[in-house]
Chain A
Amino acid sequence: MAGTQINRLSGKGLVDREKTAHFQFDGEAFSGHPGDTLASALLANGVRLVGRSFKYHRPRGILTAGSEEPNALVELRNGARREPNTRATTIELYDGLDATSQNRWPSLRLDVLSVNQLATPIFGAGFYYKTFMWPAAFWEKLYEPMIRRAAGLGYPSKLTDPDHYEKSNAFCDVLVIGSGAAGLSAALAAAKAGARVILCEEDFELGGRLLAESDEIDGKPAQEWARAAAAELESLPDCRIMRRTTVFGAYDGGVYGAVERVSDHLPVPPEHAPRQRLWRIVAKQSVLCAGGIERPILFGNNDRPGVMLAGAVRTYVNRFGVAPGRTAVVFADNHDALRTATDLAAAGVAVRAIVDPRPQASAAAEQVAGEAGALYIRGGIENVRGAHGIKSVRVKDAQGGSKEFDCDLLAMSGGWNPALNLTTHLGGKPAWDSALSCLVPGEDLPPGMQVAGAAAGQFSLQACLASGEAAGAEAAKHCGFSPSALRRPAPAQDRAPATPVWYVENSRGKAFVDFQNDVAVSDVKLAAREGFRVPDHVKRYTTLGMATDQGKTSNLNGAAILAEATGRYLGAVGSTTFRPPYTPVSIGALAGHHRGKDFRPTRLAPSHRWAEEQGAVFVEVGAWMRALMYPRPGEAAQETVNREVSNTRTNVGVCDVSTLGKIDVQGPDAGELLNRVYINAFAKLPVGKARYGLMLREDGFAMDDGTTARLADDHFYMTTTTANAVKVSQHLEFCQQVLWPELDVQTVSATEQWAQYAVAGPKARKVIEALLDAGQDISNEAFPYMACGKFTVCGGTPARIFRLSFSGELAYEIGVPARYGDVLIRAIMKAGAEHGIAPYGTEALGVMRIEKGHAAGPELNGQTTAHDLGLGKMASTKKDFIGRFMGEREALNEAGRAAMVGLKPLNPKTRIASGSHLVKRDAQATGANDEGYVTSMAYSPELETFIALALLSNGPARMGEVVKVCDPLRGNETLAEVCSAHFVDPEGERLRV
């Protein structure tokens, strides 16, 4: 077939005939030219059948020549780059393009599921609400999968998208959306006045309808004028032209969302180029010149391939040099569409008839018909014959006579609707223009937006040029520029009144309103009979206006049928709500680079590289990667954890604790600020000492805990949990800036600035002493439990040492500037080698904190109070602090509240699952008997039993009681004894040696 292009017209169109682009459709080879769309190239090759419809699997062709296309959806490309539901009418042809039709099996011409057409009565409006009501169990297993297989669009590739996507910002004075006659005029007027202009065009060529019409401007063919205007804009320094860029949404603050299809017109994106780029354009002013969308007139079998909007027919003839048929009938209720007959005749296509459904005969139409050699008939299309493509149409005339015309193309037009979608994105409502019989932009436009050309209901060429120029100049003026006087006077008569005809009454067969969703005139009427009156409700009930085209060619016809069926004025019925995006935007573009490992930044601890060398297994903790454990060859996970815990408790271990939040608090009022954010007192903490603190939310529930050390009178160093580091930092800034700006204190996060290691175990002191420079003393007498101070280590490196312990052993936390973190962990390991040092990960850390009964994330879960955590007595009664007043509410301090306890299973080998619920020993596992739940569990190698922490009603008073631990998810029940949460060294003697 390659090279035939039987419908290509000689001497017409803008495609590059010097070059050939080879492509495949459904495996068959074709050729076209650069400058074609897939749709124009298919039509050039005589291909009219391109898809099957959503519900009835009816054969469908190409209806339009733009992004409003409801029918011609194809799967573009293959393998990992396959993209479903792309519109053949906007796909730019390239050499090697491969596309496949959708929703058919086994093939496009022979589709087994077209038997759905025979079941048409079942598939009426709201069919899935009515037909598949019961039995309910069948819905998920049978009905839904069946419907989904039968009705549908294309299939996405399930492979990872190999291309990348970008996000970018742009700023301008004037954003011009659309580059037809109005858009080019607006951009020229604004740019020549000196404004920074961005001109966005969804097509790959500038010109809009100018490319599609045989008009003249200033004595030049419109296509030539458009080219000259584009060239002039290119030459202006502050005008940026963005082709293949759809402005899909208007947002507040002059922000517009746009997607640029950078590489969709190429076989694969060039190296380092994205497939698409998402733009956030910030514009002081905007001029919407999005043009218009032609609407159909509805009649029986109006969805047959070969039925096409009249404007699209002219686009194929004039822009692409393609005859969409050889013998045509024109069916239109307006003057504009008559040009179709003229252009077709000029291109050598036989025009059999112009059919005019308006009540009055039109002399102009009759004249055009005469010139084109066509009959002029007042009447309507009664039926269309030819399943896979029109063979003939039957025309019923106003006198009741009926005549069959052989033809392979029916060009229809019911007039034009302004593409005003963006004007309503911020909540504005379109207004009904009764003279034009269409919705036009309302008065409540997005701030800074003007509308010009067909988008404003200014349909004539002269009106487009004049309104575009005026809007561009006005926009420049609003930005402080002085545009020169307008060249083009507004035409006297720019609003030709319309006599719209929405559908042909009593035509044969299904007359479709929404081609994409297979919604027929009868479905809208049925919905009206069933009580639906609002277009947005009819949309949801019938699916009219849903899916990829969002009813661009169907909404108003649907509303008109609804208005008629409910006996109301169309202007009062209105339209559905338009929301962003104007056309579909790929998830890839919205995600940009945020996928895979770039989904969000990963934070690496200072010892990360060293830990990798040790074969550490890592775990994500917030954005951090922390070492979970350091397994040795042949070790099972539990063995590793047991070894790391035991070694720390008998020799010495080291753990990177740099991920904990670290906040520097400085200033004369630093102590006072801490006094107000912690429940316990800090103002009088001596220099050189650290203290555990708990902070509450203002509603009295625990927020976070940690230790804070006083390094100087006016300098505290706070630590937070890893998870809450950002939240606590923000909280302190809130307290200091909003609540108490009179306090002389500043806070700043130091998490990234300090690498910090916990060295824990009976031999920890020996390891630290080996690192210390000479003449410094960390003996128990000079540097007791909870001491802190500044030291130097490893030959002059400044270090902060804190005698803190989370593990319950003799322990030191040693901090050095982050850049020394890697060096220090290696130095610690070297110094500790003779003492049997081994690193431990967060798993062992967790075991040891559970053995010591320290609350952590699972206990600080936003529902626990100081009382619940057993820390109620810590709260100061001498000062106000965040959460004090509300925390003292009676219900937050009742003995019956679930409070933290330890649990030991009666059988030490029985694992207690976190999340298990607790009931009395003999009670049944029901919600009514629920007395609390398990928050954390671990195996204690020292006690040789599983242990757990739990929140148990009245827990502290129930020591020794046996409760039932219920895990209904896994179907387990076990008995456990309530005990103190301090399983190991309850007196804390090991800390103080």
Chain B
Amino acid sequence: MRINCPYCGARCLEEFTYRGDATVKRPESIDESARDAWVDYVYLRDNPAGLHKELWHHGAGCHSWLEVTRNTVTHEIVAVELAAKGR
């Protein structure tokens, strides 16, 4: 598998580490009412067969966190963006 890093170009898998689902959002509230959102954020993950947005870290390259859209069935990567969009 190769990931086309926006800074470094197409680089092979060994340079990256995987974190997981990029669509989960850290809750902004720490009130008790946000409990379900926190449990969701910390523990619950979808496991789709098909396209999946996920976070990869280019630790042996530019140290960017990347949002990679990958097909979990074929490993095909259809999009790679910086996770810190707009900065």
Residues of A near any B CB (own CB < 8 A): 169, 251-253, 255, 280, 282, 426-427, 447, 698-699, 726, 730, 733-734, 736-739, 741, 880, 884-886
Q: Contact check, B59 vs A738: say whether CB atoms are below 8 A apart.
A: no
Q: Contact check, A734 vs B19: say whether CB atoms are below 8 A apart.
A: yes
Q: Contact check, A738 vs B55: say whether CB atoms are below 8 A apart.
A: yes
In the complex, A733→B63 CA distance in Å?
8
4 tightest A-B CB contacts, nearest first: A252-B75, A737-B84, A741-B84, A737-B65
Q: Contact check, A734 vs B12: say whether CB atoms are below 8 A apart.
A: no
Residues from chain B with Cβ under 8 Å of A880 in the complex: 30
**Least CB distance, B85 to chain A, in whole angstroms:** 7
Q: Which of A253, A427, A447, A741 has the largest number of chain B CB atoms within 10 A? A: A253
Q: Contact check, A741 vs B42: say whether CB atoms are below 8 A apart.
A: no
| In the complex, residue of chain A having the shortest beta-carbon distance to the beta carbon of B41 | A698
Residues of B near any A CB (own CB < 8 A): 1-2, 12, 17, 19, 26-27, 30, 34, 38, 41-43, 55, 57, 59, 63-65, 73-77, 82-87
Q: Contact check, A280 vs B30: say whether CB atoms are below 8 A apart.
A: no
Contact partner of B65 among A169, A282, A427, A733, CB < 8 A? Answer: A733
Q: Contact check, B84 vs A253: say whether CB atoms are below 8 A apart.
A: no
Residues from chain B with Cβ under 8 Å of A733 in the complex: 57, 63, 65
| In the complex, residue of chain A having the shortest beta-carbon distance to the beta carbon of B76 | A252
Q: Contact check, A253 vs B75: say whether CB atoms are below 8 A apart.
A: yes
If A253-B2, A255-B2 touch, whether A734 touches B75 (CB-CB below 8 Å) is no
Given contacts A426-B74, A427-B74, A733-B65, 13 further A-B contacts (CB under 8 A): A252-B75, A253-B1, A253-B2, A253-B75, A255-B2, A280-B12, A282-B2, A447-B76, A733-B57, A741-B86, A741-B87, A880-B30, A884-B30
Residues from chain A with Cβ under 8 Å of B74 in the complex: 252, 426-427, 447
Q: Contact check, B1 vs A252: say whether CB atoms are below 8 A apart.
A: yes
**Least CB distance, B38 to chain A, in whole angstroms:** 5
Q: Contact check, B83 vs A738: say whether CB atoms are below 8 A apart.
A: yes
Residues from chain B with Cβ under 8 Å of A282 in the complex: 2
Q: Which of B34, B43, B63 has the largest number of chain A CB atoms within 10 A? A: B63
A-B contact pairs, 30 of them (CB 8 A): A169-B12, A252-B1, A252-B75, A253-B2, A253-B75, A253-B76, A426-B74, A447-B74, A447-B76, A699-B42, A699-B43, A730-B59, A733-B57, A733-B63, A733-B65, A734-B19, A734-B55, A734-B65, A736-B84, A737-B64, A737-B65, A737-B82, A737-B83, A738-B55, A738-B65, A741-B83, A880-B30, A885-B30, A885-B38, A886-B38
Q: Which of A427, A733, A884 has the largest number of chain B CB atoms within 10 A? A: A733
In the complex, A222→B41 CA distance in Å?
66
In the complex, A698→B27 CA distance in Å?
11
**Least CB distance, A442 to chain B, in whole angstroms:** 15
**Least CB distance, B34 to chain A, in whole angstroms:** 7
Residues from chain A with Cβ under 8 Å of B75 in the complex: 252-253
Residues from chain A with Cβ under 8 Å of B17 in the complex: 730
In the complex, A732→B77 CA distance in Å?
26
Residues from chain B with Cβ under 8 Å of A280 in the complex: 12
In the complex, A252→B73 CA distance in Å?
10
Q: Which of B19, B42, B43 has the largest number of chain A CB atoms within 10 A? A: B42
Residues from chain A with Cβ under 8 Å of B38 in the complex: 885-886
Residues from chain A with Cβ under 8 Å of B77 in the complex: 253
If A253-B75, A886-B38 touch, whether A738 touches B12 (CB-CB below 8 Å) is no
Q: Contact check, A886 vs B57: say whether CB atoms are below 8 A apart.
A: no
| In the complex, residue of chain A having the shortest beta-carbon distance to the beta carbon of B77 | A253
| In the complex, residue of chain B having the shortest beta-carbon distance to the beta carbon of A251 | B1
Q: Contact check, A698 vs B42: say whether CB atoms are below 8 A apart.
A: yes
In the complex, A253→B74 CA distance in Å?
9
Q: Which of A252, A280, A736, A884 has the largest number of chain B CB atoms within 10 A? A: A252
In the complex, A737→B22 CA distance in Å?
12
| In the complex, residue of chain B having the shortest beta-carbon distance to the beta carbon of A747 | B63
In the complex, A223→B80 CA distance in Å?
49
Contact partner of B85 among A252, A726, A741, A884, CB < 8 A? Answer: A741
**Least CB distance, B6 to chain A, in whole angstroms:** 12
Residues from chain A with Cβ under 8 Å of B34 in the complex: 885
In the complex, A426→B71 CA distance in Å?
13
| In the complex, residue of chain A having the shortest beta-carbon distance to the beta carbon of B22 | A738
In the complex, A888→B40 CA distance in Å?
16
In the complex, A502→B55 CA distance in Å?
53
In the complex, A739→B75 CA distance in Å?
26
**Least CB distance, B42 to chain A, in whole angstroms:** 5
Residues from chain A with Cβ under 8 Å of B55 in the complex: 734, 738
| In the complex, residue of chain A having the shortest beta-carbon distance to the beta carbon of B83 | A738
**Least CB distance, B33 to chain A, in whole angstroms:** 11
